[in-house]
Amino acid sequence: MSTLLTQTLCKSFGSLAVTQEVTLSFQSGMRYAIIGPNGAGKTTFFNLLAGNLQPDSGQILLDGRDITSLDVTSRARIGIARSFQRNNLFAEMTVHDNIAMACAIQDNVAPVFWRPMRGFSSVHKKAELIAQQVGLEDDRQTAVRHLSYGSQRQLEVALALACKPKVLLLDEPTSGMSPQETARMDHLIKALPRELTVIVIEHDMDIVLEFADQIVVLDYGRVLVQGTPAEIKNSAIVRQRYLGEEGVAVGSQAAERPAP
Ligand X SMILES: Nc1ncnc2c1ncn2[C@@H]1O[C@H](COP(=O)(O)OP(=O)(O)O)[C@@H](O)[C@H]1O
CA distance 60 to 53: 12
Q: Of 62-91, which residues contact other proteins (CB under 8 A)?
A: 71-73, 76-77, 81-82, 84, 88-91
CA distance 84 to 170: 7
Question: Residue 1: how many CB atoms within 10 A of its CB?
Answer: 9
* 7: nearest Cα among 50, 58, 49: 58
* 130: nearest Cα among 74, 207, 198, 188: 188
Q: How many residues bind ligand X (CB under 6 A)?
A: 11
Alpha helices in 22-137 (DSSP H): 42-50, 72-77, 95-106, 121-133
Q: Cβ(29)–Cβ(1) under 8 Å?
A: yes
Per CB under 5 A, the list member of 6, 19, 43, 174 interacting with Mg ion is: 43
Q: Which stretch binds ligand X (CB under 6 A): 2-10, 36-44, 110-118, 158-166?
A: 36-44
Q: How far is the CB of 116 from Mg ion (least distance, A)?
A: 39
**Residue 111 partner contact from ligand X, other proteins, Mg ion, none using kind-dependent CB cut-offs of 5 to 8 Å:** other proteins
Q: How far is the CB of 252 from other proteins (least distance, A)?
A: 33
47 lies in the site for Mg ion, by CB under 5 A:
no
* 159: nearest Cα among 177, 171, 148: 171
Q: How far is the CB of 199 from other proteins (least distance, A)?
A: 16
Q: At what angle do helices 95-106 and 149-161 cross, to 10 degrees?
A: 20
38 lies in the site for ligand X, by CB under 6 A:
yes
Q: Cβ(190)–Cβ(212) under 8 Å?
A: no
Per CB under 8 A, the list member of 101, 130, 155, 243 interacting with other proteins is: 101
**Residue 31 partner contact from ligand X, other proteins, Mg ion, none using kind-dependent CB cut-offs of 5 to 8 Å:** none
Q: Of 113-142, which residues contact other proteins (CB under 8 A)?
A: 113-118, 120, 123, 141-142
Cα separation of the two ends of the chain: 36
**Residue 44 partner contact from Mg ion, other proteins, ligand X, none using kind-dependent CB cut-offs of 5 to 8 Å:** ligand X
Per CB under 6 A, the list member of 8, 13, 234, 256 interacting with ligand X is: 13
CA distance 60 to 23: 9
CA distance 216 to 107: 34
42 lies in the site for ligand X, by CB under 6 A:
yes
Q: Of 161-220, which residues contact other proteins (CB under 8 A)?
A: 162-163
Contact residues toward other proteins (CB under 8 A) are 50, 52, 71-73, 76-77, 81-82, 84, 88-94, 97, 101-102, 104-106, 109-118, 120, 123, 141-143, 146, 159, 162-163
Contact residues toward ligand X (CB under 6 A) are 13, 16, 18, 36, 38-44
